[in-house]
Amino acid sequence: MAARIGALEAGGTKMVLAVGSEDGSIEEQVSMPTVEPDRVVPEMADWFREKGVDAIGIGAFGPTGVNPKSPDYGHILFTPKLAWQGYDFLGKMREGCDVPMGYDTDVNVACLGEATFGCARGLDSVVYITIGTGIGAGVMIGGELVHGMLHPEAGHILLNVSPDDPGKSVCPSHNRCFEGLAAGPSIEARWGAKAVDLQGRDDVWELESDYIAQALENYVVCYSPQKIILGGGVMHQEQLFPLIREKFARYLNNYLRTPELEDLDSYIVPNSLDEKQGILGCIELGRRALAAS
């Protein structure tokens, strides 16, 4: 019988739970608000136990411990959501549902979803960036999701502020980081409206695409991905893509020459899985945990 894999996409505002198979088919999906962990975590563990899953893959909001050898593995670390700070998320899930579990960041699992089931299938080095209420990047190199000291927080790379920028960074830690300059709240603070209501404003997207292109140039020279995927609410503004590609090429300035870079329309692309990249990445993470058990 095919294994039943549980998938948990743990976001800062909502939890998405699903049961599916390793081929990426989803049988059932529900969501719950991200209330205090003592309430929602046992409820989620019960849900998975009742579904009879064989393994679970969890993609968690961060920063969070992703190194299995570290004492903080599976813990949520510093977060403004105080009830979650230091919380042993993975340990409490295991208490309620004792099956093999894979655990990674929400952006890493989205990257894994695209690399397993989506537009990056068959590639082993991929960067997935989400631009929404925050900015995060999931990074796969050589088929493995990148961790390290903690995990990449590539939404906080420092960028050059455009002289045309009428606003400023909204990141409490950095006055010129990517997230502070280009995430949804920054757009709203700068222009007084949400991205979705600024569609026809060329100056908004010129500036936004400049920041995104700067970030992509940095990721390409550091991580050397075979494809870059852009998701998140801000990237629903499809007019951004040609602007990003054009500015990215200008910033890279022919420094690298590869077949991928010859075809930027296929290299810098929107997410391909109809917003299911995160939950499908969790399925693959759970499949890997089961295979390793």
Q: Binding residues for Zn ion, per CB under 5 A? A: 156, 171, 173-174, 177, 180
Smallest distance, Å, CB 158 to Zn ion?
8
Q: What is the CA radius of gyration of the chain?
A: 19
Nearer to Zn ion, 171 or 243 (CB): 171
Q: Tell me, what DSSP letter sits at residue 70?
A: S
Q: Which amino acid is at 209?
A: S
User: Cβ of 245: how many Cβ atoms within 10 Å?
Assistant: 18
For residue 102, the cross-strand partners are 57
Smallest distance, Å, CB 132 to Zn ion?
15
What's the chain's length in residues?
293
Alpha carbons 101 and 278: distance in angstroms, whole number: 16
Nearer to Zn ion, 93 or 182 (CB): 182
Smallest distance, Å, CB 61 to Zn ion?
16
CB 9 within 8 A of CB 278: yes
Smallest distance, Å, CB 103 to Zn ion?
24
Nearer to Zn ion, 151 or 288 (CB): 151
Nearer to Zn ion, 136 or 231 (CB): 136
Smallest distance, Å, CB 196 to Zn ion?
23
Alpha carbons 42 and 33: distance in angstroms, whole number: 14
Nearer to Zn ion, 135 or 290 (CB): 135
Smallest distance, Å, CB 222 to Zn ion?
17
Q: Which two tokens stand for residue 213?
A: 């292109």
Nearer to Zn ion, 74 or 180 (CB): 180
In three-state secondary structure terms, 136 is strand
Nearer to Zn ion, 145 or 177 (CB): 177
For residue 144, the cross-strand partners are 141
Q: Which amino acid is at 243?
A: L
Residue from 270, 281, 226 nearest 112 by CA: 281
- Using DSSP bridges, classify how beta strands 55-60 and 101-105 pair: parallel, antiparallel or unpaired: parallel
Smallest distance, Å, CB 86 to Zn ion?
22
Smallest distance, Å, CB 167 to Zn ion?
15
Cα dist from 45 to 28, 95, 135, whole Å: 15, 8, 29
Nearer to Zn ion, 120 or 181 (CB): 181
- Using DSSP bridges, classify how beta strands 227-231 and 126-131 pair: parallel, antiparallel or unpaired: parallel
